[in-house]
Amino acid sequence: MEQKEGIIRTEYSEIMQKSYIDYAMSVIIARALPDVRDGLKPVQRRTLYDMYELGIRYDRPYRKCARIVGDTMGKYHPHGDSSIYEALVVMAQEFKKGMPLVDGHGNFGSIEGDGAAAMRYTEARLQKITQEAYLADLDKDVVDFVPNFDETEKEPAVLPVKVPNLLINGAEGIAVGMATSIPPHNLEEVIEGVKAYMKNPDITTQEMLSYIKGPDFPTGGIVVNKDDLAEIYETGTGKIRLRGKVEIEKAKGGKERLVITEIPYTMVGANIGKFLNDVYSLVESKKTNDIVDISNQSSKEGIRIVLELRKGCNTENLCNMLYKKTRLEDTFGVNMLAVAGGRPETMGLIPVIRHHVNFQYELATRKYKNLLAKELDKKEIQEGLIKACDVIDLIIEILRGSKNIKEAKACLVTGETGAIRFKTKKSKEEAGKLRFTERQAAAILEMRLYKLIGLELEALRKEHEETLKHIAQYQEILGSRGAMAKVIIRELDKFRKEYGRQRRTAIENAAEAVYEEKKMEEIPVVALTDRFGYAKAVDVPTYERNKEAADSESKYQIPCKNTDKLCIFTDTGQQHLVKVKDLPFGKFREKGTPLDNISNYNSGEERLIYMDSLSNLTGKTLLFASSSGMLKQVDGGEFDVSKRTTAATKLGDGDRLLAAALTEEKETIILQTNKGMFLRFLLSEVPQKKKGAVGVRGIRLSSDDEVEAVYLLGEKEEKTITFKEKEIALHRLRIAGRDTKGVKK
């Protein structure tokens, strides 16, 4: 029988939408965002659980990270070894985590951005707190276990974390259409905040801030917008302003030095190098003359960046300048987004603590229910053994008179004596009264004879008393939320006492950094650009002394001020602005710097057509001519713009800018084509237009011809050129009308 193929017809857009939403939710829930209960992303949770399973405890030898990563990838996290190792490394870095969860041995990177060594070289094991506060109750069935990706193993859906890890260690992650950024906090303060919430669930965010002062970054630093914290923690979003800690030390000769001993958390990594480069740039650009030298003396002992200052420096103004112009003051964007109840949710401080506390009650309930069940089972067996010891002679008689274990067990449980031989009728009557439970009977049958020793009997009775105490204790805890709260708080206090540390980040209100920027002394200079696009600036006396060499070596010599801007016009119709102060200044024999490096001009894709200073263009008119013969005049003031790059003229498809020139004191224009057509007409025939216009046609071209050169002549100016080995006097050409063919030469 022929089987029909099932074809489902649907809109392609619907399939794309559904597939993308599925992918987005997978990234959000199963990869990028932490769970509000344990504060861990799936890769972190799986790595810690795998270390727990491998027995890599805090009091055991370190194991190779490659073993941990491989095992985690093979069992729980099939998303590549690099993501697992990166998560493992971050959990071991003290400068990134408020409370490191992994004890790393080997090169795990540095605060200055150095990467960790390859996983085959490094070793790791669990930290003590991770074992005691994150993984301790996994054997007590307090969390659900779910199948792994190929359903060959079981993994915990969430770890039974007893401290608010989401707040202590913070979190960073980029999902699809959303991102999380939660700052780390102080363990002691967070535990005090949790206790305060458990005692008063109606506590406000403002009241909570008396316990949890604010973020506590592992790099220290200073939070300078204390008054904004209440709103940030209420909404779960906002910006925290961070500053590094700066100390002033006395140096020799009455000089001072600024020493940065703590950095903003956002500067961790490559941004330390960027900070040093920013300070170099401030010195090179003459923004400050107060810094004589800068050195990074940081070591394992901590951060120490030293700025040597000149004598008489205004240190307060310099500090404010560093706050403004470098990352010594930075913002940490807070977005407290986490997975709660299987969906992403932005939460304030109180909701995060509420979720944690509810999770603790859930863990405690499951834990003590399981413990109670075990103790009740023990109680049942212990009572059976104690009772059996009192009638041990009868039980021995039953065992000796039974043909098999089934008959003996039936007698112990139901008092059935029909198949058993007894020595006396009284024994049979006593045996008929026995009513042990199934489990008690099994325990009696498995009991060893040494248990009948007096001391063993006494130990059994004491053990039974302990069991009864535990049962009463567990029933009390389960019977009252208040009693359970006391147990949770007692455990939190234990962690606080053992693992608490002093706050590192100071919280205060500080005024906005204000500094007086020294105005540049305005002086006349000459900007020089050679044919290779290297530019520099020299003062006028230097130019005058080297005028002959400067004019011969430079394509452009532009008199201007050091506060001026240079306009670069390219064949693509773009205008690029360069600040004269960005040019190397001083020595004539300096090569200069490529224009590509200090502007958006790209010499590989554009050709420089014309260059002049913005001040020289203002109040004058600039002529634009394209290779297709389009012309227009533009007022120079239109090029005074704030953008570094803007369109100087509009070009048609396939057209390019051929020339740009000032029209001052010029009367006629000559267009020369590739095929030797020359057209001379009055400049007044070219209209003045906006820079966004295309312009008007200057010459009628044949289909395979284009304009090759443009010349401007004054009223009595004479100019002769050589074209195809013929000398042509441009000033002798007849003046014709614009938009004609011209004459052949």
Q: Is the pLDDT of residue 331 over 60?
A: yes
214 closest CA partner among 200, 233, 237, 197: 233
What's the whole-number mean pLDDT along residues 632-642?
A: 91
Q: How large is the average pLDDT for residues 723-745?
A: 90
Q: State the Cα torsion 104-105-106-112 to the nearest 10°.
A: 30
Q: Any idea of the CA torsion for 203, 207, 210, 213, to the nearest 10 degrees?
A: 90
* pLDDT class of 186 with cuts at 50, 70, 90: very high
pLDDT attached to residue 635: 93
Residue 739: which residues within 8 A CB-CB, separation 6 or more? 696, 697, 698, 699, 700
In the predicted model, is pLDDT for residue 519 greater than 70?
no
The predicted model gives 248-273 an average pLDDT of: 89
How far apart are alpha carbons 213 and 503 in whole angstroms? Answer: 10
Model pLDDT, residue 178: 87
Judged against a pLDDT cut of 60, whether residue 57 lies above it is answered with: yes
Which of 435, 425, 333, 338 is CA-nearest to residue 388? 435
Which pLDDT band, with edges at 50, 70 and 90, does 1 fall under?
A: very low
Is 591 a residue whose pLDDT tops 90? Answer: no
What percent of the chain has pLDDT above 90? 62
Can you tell me the distance from the alpha carbon of 292 to that of 309, in angstroms, rounded to the nearest whole number? 5
Question: What mean pLDDT comes out for the span 245-262?
Answer: 89
Average pLDDT, the chain: 90
What are the structure tokens assigned to 737, written together? 């009308």
Kindly tell me if the per-residue pLDDT of 238 is higher than 90: yes
Q: Is the CB of residue 434 less than 8 Å from the CB of residue 399?
A: no
Residue 161 has pLDDT above 50, yes or no: yes
- Residue with the larger pLDDT of the pair 181 and 403: 181
Q: What is the mean pLDDT of residues 147-165?
A: 95
Question: Is 121 labeled as catalytic in the residue annotation?
Answer: yes
3-state DSSP helix/strand/coil percent for the chain, to nearest 5? Answer: 40, 25, 40
The active-site residue out of 20, 23, 58, 121 is 121
Q: Among the listed ranges 348-357, 451-460, 597-606, which one has the minimum average pLDDT value?
A: 451-460
In the predicted model, what is the mean pLDDT of residues 535-548? 91
Residue-level pLDDT at 452: 67
Span 183-191, average pLDDT: 96
The answer, yes or no, to whether residue 314 has pLDDT greater than 70, is yes
Most confident of 37-51, 455-469, 518-532: 37-51
